[in-house]
């Protein structure tokens, strides 16, 4: 193999590797955020701590609910805040209403502030795991079940944290289910 062929193959391999890394960067970043809580990404749990794991440490969780201006929904939390003990599981309901005259799908993005709290904020149930479709004028109750991990007490960097804010922002989304709902709506 001559020098030019080796150089061409090397350049091709580098370009191929860079393209591969660019496609892998989003899933790898998502994995990093979910594992570490980086950027306020909350964690997912199958179940809550047992009653003997609940600590005598009070926390306040505030709730923020926003919608993108391109999404014709009203979206709010039923309460602005909840008081709880670390390890105690709580339920908060968010309410979304489609204010348009056609079906619309929305997908929520979320985070917790302070950002360092994301690794300790666990959700056992959340509407944010999938796209939501609301019919014209439909109002939907969207529950979130969560707890603050008792391991927060072991992290001296979290000693100053007594409040967290769970924020959701809904964006308009497209999906096969939305296409089917729109087709059904227009064929009535």
Cα–Cα distance, 35 to 68 (Å, whole number): 27
Q: Kindly state the helix (H) or strand (E) to which residue 108 belongs, with its residue range.
A: strand 104-113
Our separate counts of H helices and E strands in the chain read 2, 10
What sign does the dihedral 113-118-124-125 (CA atoms) show? positive
CA 53 to chain centre: 25
Distance separating alpha carbons of residues 168 and 36, to the nearest angstrom = 19
pLDDT in tens, the chain (188 residues): 787 777 766 666 665 555 554 444 434 434 444 444 444 455 666 777 778 899 999 999 999 999 999 899 999 999 999 999 999 999 999 999 999 999 999 988 888 999 898 899 999 888 776 788 999 999 999 999 999 999 999 999 999 999 999 999 988 887 666 556 556 655 66
Q: Which two tokens stand for residue 95?
A: 């309410």
Kindly report the backbone phi and psi dihedral angles of residue 77, in degrees, each rounded to the nearest multiple of 5, phi listed first. -90, 145
Round to whole Å and give the CA distance between 88 and 60.
12
- Return the closest-CA partner of residue 147 out of 80, 47, 71: 47
Q: CA angle, 53 as apex, 50 and 58 as ends, to 5°?
A: 115
């Amino acid at each position: 193999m001559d020098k030019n062929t080796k150089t061409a193959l090397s350049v091709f391999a580098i370009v191929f590797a860079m393209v591969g890394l660019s496609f892998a960067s989003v899933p790898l970043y998502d994995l990093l955020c979910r594992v570490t809580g980086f950027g306020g990404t909350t964690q997912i749990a199958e179940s809550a701590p047992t009653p003997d794991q609940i600590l005598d440490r009070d926390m306040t969780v505030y709730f923020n609910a926003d919608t993108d201006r391109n999404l014709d929904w009203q979206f709010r939390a039923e309460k602005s805040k909840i008081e709880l003990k670390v390890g105690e599981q709580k339920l908060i309901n968010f309410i979304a209403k489609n204010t348009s005259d056609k079906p619309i799908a929305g997908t929520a993005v979320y985070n917790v502030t302070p950002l360092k709290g994301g690794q300790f904020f666990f959700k056992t149930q959340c509407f944010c795991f999938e796209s939501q479709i609301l019919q014209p004028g439909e109002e939907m109750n969207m529950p979130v079940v969560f707890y603050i991990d008792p391991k927060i007490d072991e992290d001296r960097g979290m000693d100053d944290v007594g409040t967290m804010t769970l924020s959701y922002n809904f964006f308009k989304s497209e999906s096969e289910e939305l296409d089917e709902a729109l087709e059904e709506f227009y064929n009535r």
